[in-house]
Amino acid sequence: MAIYLTELDKNTVDFPPTESAMVEPNGLLAFGGDLSPKRILNAYKNGIFPWYGPGEPILWWSPFPRAVFDPNTYTPSKSLKKFQRKHNYQVSINTATKQVIRYCSSVRSAKDTWLNDEMISAYSTLVDLGQCHSVEVWLEGELIGGLYGISIGEIFCGESMFSLKTNASKIALWYFCRHFAKHGGQLIDCQVMNTHLESLGAFELERSQFMQYLLSFRDKPIHSGCFDSQWLNSKA
């Protein structure tokens, strides 16, 4: 039986139901449309995100199962705690978000080029609108790691992370989980499981479970001050 992929209507920001996503490739749901803030935010509110390579149209995905972190139960390894006590990386939130996005693009391999200029521009616009946020890790005033993503109520949709020094992205995740949980955060979406995420403590949810979390928490505002530009505690 032929499977037809939905082409998005440029006059609306609607998406087909996530249940109609393809099995192979896993989660491919639709193509086309644009990367306007309204469309991107509507995508994340419905468990969908853009990801596409050079020469491809904009592709929209809702993979299953879904890889996530629970910020309220996340626990860093003993070795990571020991490392941070020794090196005392400085950690901030929302002080260099556009810089983090560009680093995430530049440190990726030539084969992994989904974070192209069009995507960088789209997420930079979301930064200006207060919807895209980052965590930054610093050593002696130099940005050495971080992560960024989209806030949807009490859900944080992680997009990418980078590390220029040992454990920098791990420390960004650790400090963000603690900070996010303190402000009422309920779930961090990291899209598709890989060995690195699994080693950090990510686990998988079936699509129905993930959507239940999303529908429960996407419209609940995160506690005030969560994404104010600030330094997080430098010692843990």
| pLDDT for position 107 | 78
Is residue 236 pLDDT above 60, yes or no?
A: no
Give the mean model confidence (pLDDT) for residues 112-122: 87
Q: Which domain holds residue 78?
A: 67-231
Same domain, 20 and 117: no
| pLDDT for position 54 | 87
CATH number at 198 reads 3.40.630.70
Same domain, 219 and 184: yes
| pLDDT for position 67 | 98
End-to-end CA distance of the chain: 56
Give the mean model confidence (pLDDT) for residues 195-207: 94
Give the mean model confidence (pLDDT) for residues 130-159: 97
Give the mean model confidence (pLDDT) for residues 44-67: 96
Same domain, 126 and 40: no
Rounded Cα gap, residues 115 and 160, in angstroms: 9
Q: Which has more pLDDT, 235 or 200?
A: 200
Same domain, 56 and 74: no
β-pair partners for 68 = 189, 203
| pLDDT for position 112 | 55
Same domain, 174 and 186: yes
Of 63, 78, 104, which residue is a domain's last?
A: 63
Same domain, 119 and 182: yes
CATH number at 43 reads 3.30.70.3550
The Cβ of residue 53 has, within 10 Å, a number of other Cβ atoms equal to: 11
Q: Cα–Cα distances in Å, from 67 out to 85, 98, 189?
A: 29, 25, 6
63-102 pLDDT, tens digit per residue, is 999 999 999 999 999 999 999 999 999 999 999 999 999 9
Number of domains in the chain: 2
Q: Cα–Cα distances in Å, from 111 out to 33, 99, 107, 155, 161?
A: 24, 22, 12, 30, 17
One-letter amino acid at 129 equals L
Of 28, 46, 63, which residue is a domain's last?
A: 63
Give the mean model confidence (pLDDT) for residues 34-48: 98
Is residue 235 pLDDT above 80, yes or no?
A: no
